[in-house]
A = this chain, B = another copy of it.
């Protein structure tokens, strides 16, 4: 059990925050991301392709190629990344796994889980990947941070 998100989604979030800290219009290669974030190269490649298809990144082939954000770094939220990779089904599925779970036909933790889920969503939507990247003290992200 990868806590909540899939591995792909975790890697996507890590990569997006990393790219957001780079100067705008500067390309970031899979190689760099893979090495700095310790993510398997080819696996990461697939994920970045996915994010590109979903319109969150733009890519450029050839030497000096790589990826950059498709939109302003402050306009992309972690939630949008999650949505692109894992989808948003966690927002309306039952914690206990009951196929039908509703206000009229609730499971034992239906309401409590609703509250927590909203907080989780809020956490992923009230910030953006740039601010999130800035807030991190991890060395993979601090080394190229503006001072």
Contacts and interface: CB of A to CB of B under 8 A. Distances in A.
A13 interface: yes
Contact of A107 (B95, B124, B131, B138): B138
Contact of A1 (B90, B119, B138): B90
Copies in the complex: 2
How would you classify the secondary structure of chain A's contact residues: helix, strand, loop or mixed? Answer: loop
A28 interface: no
Contacts of A119: 116, 119
Interface residues of A, number: 47
Given A1-B90, A4-B4, A119-B116, A10 B97 contact: yes
A135 interface: yes
Contact of A105 (B94, B99, B137): B137
A58 to B, nearest CB: 23
A108 B132 contact: yes
A93 B78 CA distance: 18
